[in-house]
A and B are shown apart, each in its own frame.
Chain A
Amino acid sequence: MRGLNKKLFSILSIIMLLLLAACGGGNTTTDSNSNKSEDGVISAKFGVIAYLTGAGAAYGEAITNGLKLAQKDINALGEVNIELVIEDSAGKADQALNAAQKIMSDDSITAIIGPTLSTEFFAVAPEVDLNGIPIMGTSTTVDGIPEIGDYVFRNAVPESLAIPAAIKKAVERTGAKKVAMIYGNDDALTKGGFDVMERTAKEMGLEITTIETYQEGQSDYNAQLTKIKNTNPDLILASALYNEGAVIMDQARKMGINIPFVGGNGFNSPQAIAIAGDAANGLIVATPYFGDSTDPKITKFNEDYEAEFGKKPDQFAAQAYDALFIYADALKRAGSADKEAFKEALAATKDLEGILGKFSFDEVGDVIMDVTVLEIKDGKFIEFE
């Protein structure tokens, strides 16, 4: 008995010693603060935390691809030299925090981009903020992200900016008075989007006929749609990710519900058309990124991206691309890779021309930019008139 306890204690202490011994390795990395080379090029290292393995790996892949493309373009310009350190978060808050700690244990990191999901961001950002390292979310759209701290920023267009724009335009054109709502209540993104929809509908004095919920991965929405149909709304506000949203639209059209849908950020994907086909017609979304735009900046980005990675970029790739340009611009103005100077310069970002348009931060570090309202017509995204 006594011997056994001793064994247990000795094993635990060995584990602890191993851990502590392992600690020695981490801090010995480059400690050179000479981030300005002879030719005046400012070098900086940025940490990236992205969702690279697991169910949502497509998001993380788009983001890191966007960043890599931006890194190439920025370094080619020769004004600043950026190095990216990419870590995987696997979509889990604890893994994201581990990744952040790993990145932060390297003192030469100037700032962090990511993590991908809002639920990861809420766990990571307070810690990063306390360490005085700037952090920016490129895909985190839920309310309350930049409010976490002074060092926390985002360039993702929040739902509170995109959804009201889409609803206002839709109501203007259709003259809708009664709206029905449906949302996925077990996902932070769709739940956050729903909160904004409900608030907007109330502010605009629209009558909410019914609020329906579904669970992630559900495939039959007939119960909810029958209820919605019976209340006879003029418009359906659907806070759904594209994979579920497209199925909802498909089943709604089959049931004879032919009114327009308004969606959030997660609904905005060409995949919605691929899944729902003609049923996707009449979907209205607001987005900073319009893939079929004829804007030369966007067509160039699309071409470069496709040449590099063999597929079309999406909103997440575009936002990540812009994010690194925002960092590069702040780095230029800061004049060094010092975290404090960088943060001050970042907060002062104003009217920066990115591929998604003019970009500024407000006083808490949230994004100010114009969004485009799109609708699907004849199986294609077009600008909403």
Chain B
Amino acid sequence: MLGEILNTYYLQIGSFILINIMLAISVYVPLSSGQLSLGSAGFMGVGAYTSALLTIHFDLPIVIGIIAGALAASALGVIVGIPSLRLSGVYLAIATLGLGEVIRVIFVNWDSLTRGSVGLTGIPQLGREILEFARGVGFEPAMIGIKNNQFVFLSIFLVLLVLVIVILWFVVRQQNSRVGRALSSINLDEKAAESMGINITYYKVISFTQGAFFAGLAGALFAHVIGYISPADFSYHRAVEVLIFTVFGGSEVIIGSVFGAFFLTLMPEVLRFVSEFRYIIYGILLVVLMAVRPQGILDANLLKKIKFKRSKGGIR
């Protein structure tokens, strides 16, 4: 029964949706303090390469690789964040975009370590490692009536789902805390926030670093889901794509990022039947939606309208 409804194709798309939700959140969090960061592709690359190299060369467990990847990305976030947060708005966007390109070019040129543009092959796959582990403790996928590769993708999907839920929980909790209110006050008016005694630099670095952490985490997971990475995966196209997730879905509310990533990842797959034209439709859709709803599909007003009743304060 279970074996029939679990299609690896859908599970795979589901996994990519969840990874993209993480990436969209990595843009959303800095944006909630008024910082437009386009470095997500670069941070994602740092996370992916760190985790992949550690697991390939030192045989470390994937979990440690992923944590190390996310931490490496956030460390870079702190280092880069402190000086570049003097910038704001479009200048910060350009600086972070530049950072992403620098990181990609390092991957391309650091041949001895990253194998250049040919990329890293043979990265341990998350699902297969879980399968081996499950077998080690005496569990066979056949026991619940599913095939091995269904189990592999189901386990990836569930791991990602849990992680996304934890991240969402964390971000929402933070938004309604002292930190979150500090961030949104910085977003609304930096000078006013500062005169209220909020340490702007501190909070900005916090939100920037959180963005870097989520992007690094998503990158590390991406590497272990797909099993192969090359610098082309982390080009500025990726940064723009991630930004579109957030802006399209609505950058004012976190559910907007989730929706944007979900919808825009699913869209090209649903449109597969029109083959060559699917990206044309995708493009037209973006143009129309940005013309009609520049604030993104979901915003605070709309959420209120559709009776999204919740305690006052709400998500921002």
Query: What is the interface of chain A, defined by CB distance below 8 A to chain B?
Result: 1-5, 7-9, 11-12, 15-16, 19-20, 22-24, 26-27, 52-54, 57, 86-88, 90, 92-95, 97-99, 101-102, 104-105, 118-119, 122-123, 126-127, 130-131, 142, 144, 148, 185-188, 190-192, 195, 213
Contacts and interface: CB of A to CB of B under 8 A. Distances in A.
Contacts of B119: 119, 122, 188
B293 to A, nearest CB: 20
A188 B4 contact: no
B308 interface: yes
Contact of B118 (A12, A123, A188): A188
Given A20-B6, A101-B9, 18 more contacts: A3-B310, A4-B310, A4-B314, A7-B308, A8-B172, A12-B165, A15-B262, A19-B10, A19-B11, A26-B10, A52-B276, A93-B229, A99-B272, A102-B272, A105-B9, A144-B121, A185-B109, A186-B108
A335 to B, nearest CB: 27
B227 A123 contact: yes
B300 to A, nearest CB: 13
Contacts of B230: 93, 119, 122, 188
Contacts of A104: 8-9
A48 to B, nearest CB: 11
Contact of A105 (B8, B279, B309): B8
Contact of A24 (B5, B12, B309): B5
B149 A97 contact: no
Given A119-B232, A122-B121, A142-B118, A98 B311 contact: no
Interface in B41-58: none
Contacts of B108: 185-186
A102 B230 CA distance: 23
B38 to A, nearest CB: 19
B232 A7 contact: no
B189 to A, nearest CB: 25
A121 B16 CA distance: 18
B116 A185 contact: yes
B195 interface: no
Interface in B236-273: 255, 258, 262, 268-269, 272
A7 B119 CA distance: 41
B233 interface: yes
A118 to B, nearest CB: 8
B310 A101 contact: no
B232 A98 contact: no
A4 B7 contact: no
Nearest to B222: A94
Interface in B202-241: 222, 226-233
Nearest to B19: A94
A116 to B, nearest CB: 13
Contacts of B181: none
A306 B17 CA distance: 42
- Which 6 A-B pairs rank lowest in CB-CB distance, beginning with the nearest? A101-B9, A26-B7, A23-B7, A122-B228, A123-B228, A105-B9
B12 A101 contact: yes
A15 B105 CA distance: 37
A314 B26 CA distance: 43
Contacts of B227: 123, 126-127
B187 interface: no
27 contacts: A5-B172, A8-B165, A8-B255, A19-B11, A19-B13, A23-B11, A52-B276, A57-B276, A86-B275, A88-B272, A90-B279, A94-B16, A94-B226, A98-B12, A101-B13, A119-B118, A122-B119, A185-B109, A185-B116, A186-B108, A187-B117, A188-B117, A188-B118, A190-B117, A191-B116, A195-B118, A213-B109
B81 interface: no
B174 to A, nearest CB: 12
B9 A98 contact: yes
Contacts of B10: 19-20, 22-23, 26
Contact of A191 (B118, B258, B276, B315): B118
A48 B230 CA distance: 23
Given A4-B310, A95-B268, A88 B233 contact: no
A154 to B, nearest CB: 15
A88 B17 CA distance: 18
Contact of B13 (A9, A11, A98, A186): A98
Contacts of A131: 149
B169 interface: yes
B164 A4 contact: no
Contacts of B109: 185, 213
Contacts of B8: 101, 104-105
Contacts of A101: 8-9, 12-13
Contacts of A127: 227
A18 to B, nearest CB: 10
A62 B229 CA distance: 26
Interface string B43-83: 00000000000000000000000000000000000000000
B9 A102 contact: yes
B14 interface: yes
Contacts of B255: 8, 11
A363 B58 CA distance: 31
B199 interface: no
B176 interface: yes
A124 B11 CA distance: 16
B159 to A, nearest CB: 13
A185 B110 CA distance: 11
Nearest to A194: B116
Contacts of A20: 5-6, 10
Nearest to A6: B310
A101 B269 CA distance: 11
Given A12-B161, A27-B7, A93 B233 contact: yes
B117 A1 contact: no
B168 interface: yes
A224 to B, nearest CB: 15
Contact of A87 (B117, B258, B272): B272
A139 to B, nearest CB: 16
